Structure 1
């Protein structure tokens, strides 16, 4: 066994305080053995006095305590060592040396050792025993029971002074030792907590369904990779560890990698970014990646997490394509419906209207031809003419409801007609404000804006209890904007959307198909505002 092993003492990895105590005991015990060996050699060959047998006895006892510490009893050995040394020192003081020279230094050394190795209670007992030895020796010298060359200098003040100094030494050394052991205990607790955290992190990484890697910030080389990463990349853990993403060719786009690393260095963290990853076989996958810079043992590393969303992106793309198809189909149906409405309105107006007009003319002729001869025929003809006139008005109303004739003249005449009819039916004041009347709008956009205003006014008359409605139409070089605002009761927009109100949904879909946006702002007691913005062409 080497000197370093002797000084190190037994190892207790789970108890830092016990390990430190064992190492300190080993150092102190070896120092005491060395000092005793020197003392025995000096007394044996150079001292004129008789050889003190207490020295080899103490030497043997210290050796036994060292063996006990090696066998796993460092606390027992640490407690007994100062007692053994004090017993030997007391024997020398009382029989030969007195309270001077080596005797005082020896007791002081014992108190230093006791302050380091003993617990607080044991130290109090040990210090009391040491003071008893001092007082006994001092009394012996003062009373003349013990004589050496310096005994004449011993008096009460000297003895008391030594006792006070020894108490200060014992207390100071013990406070320092306790501080040291407390620091060691706290350091061990922190180390243990850190170890537990690292173990939990390792288990979480291992069990995570997300691909997780830890790589050096300096060169990017991986130090950890979980099974999900192996599945995502196609590489085994052994193939990943010690190599960087650049070496493995993970980044198909160097610019994308540059942006990602730059953002990570600047912000220390990157959340939920879509990236492309090249697998071992060259297949490209789309991943949702997050990364953070972490500290491990004083070095900077990148914690990288990724989820394969290739299939999800394919599903999203298919859903978007189907959504576009459904909207195009709905737009086509709306266009066909508007066309059918216009066609039916024209047929009703032209064909049925002409037929009814001809019928009325025939009734007039019939009344004039036969009315003079038979007054009842004239009355019946007149009554039938009234019925035909009512039917003509119904036909006109139906045709207008299907397709207002004013809309053929443009969006502004159509809105003015709609507002006029709305005021007649509801009695609610409604105004139309147009920033500039000189602009051209295609039929599709005109119809959509007209139907949105028509739906909004219908909702106002049914639910709002409003007194005023204002319609604002504005445009610039690129977009046209429409606002319909009332001062009615208002409503909960989110609740209406959850109820899947088809009027609101229809307005939304019409606007989306023309690449526009529709927003509805409303609150209880504050009215409602419907805003539309879309490209002018």
Structure 2
């Protein structure tokens, strides 16, 4: 009985061993199958990546050691397409602060898209690339999968456009300065030369009236002539002031006082000027620019706003000069004005920019309009 039991137990053990061996063989076969699939997948991956025209690489996270680069990436960095080696991509970032910021972004977010990066090639030349990256695993370690798109030519064109635009702005500023100088010269000549001649004519007419006092018809004619000369003198002064107000020679506050008074008188729209803080002392170019912006704003109020009142507020602090022109008129759709490329708004914005300031327009249909100019004192030598 004991021998039979031993034989039975041995058979059970042998059967269990056989089942275990079969299970192990099955696991080994499955593992071999998985490894074969992985190997096949890696081959396919490499074939796809190598065939891709997009420069691609895999680098360690967070140190930048290179695990893999495809031929387009090696060519992009000016290396031998077959044998060139990049040990560390991070060493080729031109701006290390930007590199560190992007790595920290990858730590936090895990990816970024379409980010402009400035690289340096091993030979010292530079280029711009649009980078897209994400964090994944590579050989059981965190890695950065990075794709690049060369945008050097686009950046060159953008720089040329920027320089061209700046040159146009400089030309525009120069032409505007010339126009202001010409306005100032013409206004002075009209006011001084023509004004003096008309004043002399007025005196001559008065003398003529005294000498011909015995003839009522002649006296009436000389009175008419005197009145006509006085109207002409007023018109000459008015033209000169609108070319360039003489009040600008006495500061921006005097010029705004004249402008507000003239606006109210001409358009029968009440307009109030408020001054907060001490009177600013501005260079002539700055005072002229501020005056022209306010003048253009009030002209728009008169022509388009349908307002019943307007307000001009000048605030001078230690850090900035702020000026607001507001009205209670019909307002307008700002998006529509932007799409129409209104030269009036563009002109005001450009004037503000040229003196280191910024212009903000706040308006909506039925809500009135507010034009604000902000000039930081540090931007120019304002006092």
**Structure number with bigger Rg:** 1
Unaligned runs of 5+ in 1: 1-183
Deviations 1:96-137 (A, max 9, x none): xxxxxxxxxxxxxxxxxxxxxxxxxxxxxxxxxxxxxxxxxx
Q: Within 5 Å, which residues of 2 pair with 1:53-452? A: 203=48, 206-208=51-53, 210-217=54-61, 220-239=64-83, 244-245=87-88, 250-251=92-93, 257-295=99-137, 298-372=140-214, 374-452=215-293
SS in 1 for 2:356: coil
Question: Aligned pair in 2 of structure 1 residues 216, 400: CA closer, same or farther (>3 Å)?
Answer: closer
Contact 1:344 1:399 in 2 (8 A): yes
Cα offset, 1:253, TM superposition: 6.0
Cα offset, 1:326, TM superposition: 2.0
The total of aligned residue pairs comes to 349
Cα offset, 1:460, TM superposition: 0.9
Query: Which of the pair is proportionally richer in strand?
Result: 2
Contact 1:367 1:378 in 2 (8 A): yes
Contact 2:270 2:310 in 1 (8 A): yes
Query: Which of the pair is proportionally richer in helix?
Result: 1
Partner of residue 504 from structure 1, selected from 340, 345, 348: 345
SS in 1 for 2:257: helix
Question: Aligned pair in 2 of structure 1 residues 234, 531: CA closer, same or farther (>3 Å)?
Answer: same
Question: Aligned pair in 2 of structure 1 residues 363, 205: CA closer, same or farther (>3 Å)?
Answer: farther
Unaligned runs of 5+ in 2: 1-29
Deviations 1:129-165 (A, max 9, x none): xxxxxxxxxxxxxxxxxxxxxxxxxxxxxxxxxxxxx
Cα offset, 1:437, TM superposition: 3.0
Question: Aligned pair in 2 of structure 1 residues 200, 333: CA closer, same or farther (>3 Å)?
Answer: same
Cα offset, 1:518, TM superposition: 0.7
Question: Matched residues in 1 for 2:256 and 2:62: separation?
Answer: 68
TM-score, normalisation: structure 1: 0.58
Cα offset, 1:360, TM superposition: 1.7
Cα offset, 1:522, TM superposition: 0.9
Question: Matched residues in 1 for 2:95 and 2:302: separation?
Answer: 59
Deviations 1:247-305 (A, max 9, x none): x9634566654444344334322344443323243322233323211235754331112
Q: CA RMSD in A?
A: 3.4
Cα offset, 1:219, TM superposition: 6.7
Question: Aligned pair in 2 of structure 1 residues 432, 199: CA closer, same or farther (>3 Å)?
Answer: farther
Contact 2:62 2:103 in 1 (8 A): no
Question: Matched residues in 2 for 1:259 and 1:218: separation?
Answer: 12
